[in-house]
Amino acid sequence: MTGSIEQSLASLGIKMPSVAPAVANYVPFTRRGALITISGQLPRTDDGLITGTLGNGTSIDRGFAAAQQCAVAILAILNEAIEGDLDRLDGCVQLSGFVQSAPGFTEHSTVINGASDLIATVLGERGRHARAAVGVSSLPFDVAVEVSAQFMLRA
């Protein structure tokens, strides 16, 4: 698959964001051999962060959109890590999604589908992955969702 992630996102009408600087003692990604781990990404838009608690005033649609924005940020970092060359990518290994949830909220998987669906759409078969979707009582900056990922490069 020749071409950049940026081109794939553009074909979906999504603009590639710049990679946000780390706000604590971590880096956007690490690479150990063929494994690339992307730090947890927050749902950032031109209007700021998508905040709120699912099941307490924040809709599933807004949570889905937040997870999708996290995936866009993940893809921006991945694109930087592989220098825009999708041919280097073997595939997505795992996504881990965290949903800020009220007690009793059970639609974590539906929310994190926002990230999973975008990764699968942009990367095709290489975007299929294992996944965790977990509800938590709070997230940094009151964001609705945070998503991290692991990718494997071709040997």
pLDDT of residue 22: 81
pLDDT of residue 1: 44
pLDDT of residue 3: 64
User: Cα–Cα distances in Å, from 56 out to 16, 34, 113, 118, 143?
Assistant: 31, 41, 20, 25, 13
Higher pLDDT pick, 47 / 9: 47
pLDDT of residue 20: 77
Q: Per-residue pLDDT averaged across 1-15, rounded?
A: 78
Q: Per-residue pLDDT averaged across 118-145, rounded?
A: 96
Proportion of the chain above pLDDT 90, given as a percent = 81
- Helices 108-123, 60-81: axis angle to 10 degrees equals 40
Q: Per-residue pLDDT averaged across 58-74, rounded?
A: 97
The whole-model pTM stands at: 0.94
Residue 32 pairs in a beta bridge with 35
pLDDT tens by residue, 68-122: 999 999 999 999 999 888 889 999 999 999 999 999 999 999 999 999 999 999 9
13-22, 121-130, 135-144, 145-154: segment of lowest average pLDDT: 13-22
Q: Any idea which fold 5-14+28-153 has? A: 60s Ribosomal Protein L30; Chain: A; (3.30.1330)
Total residue length of the chain: 155
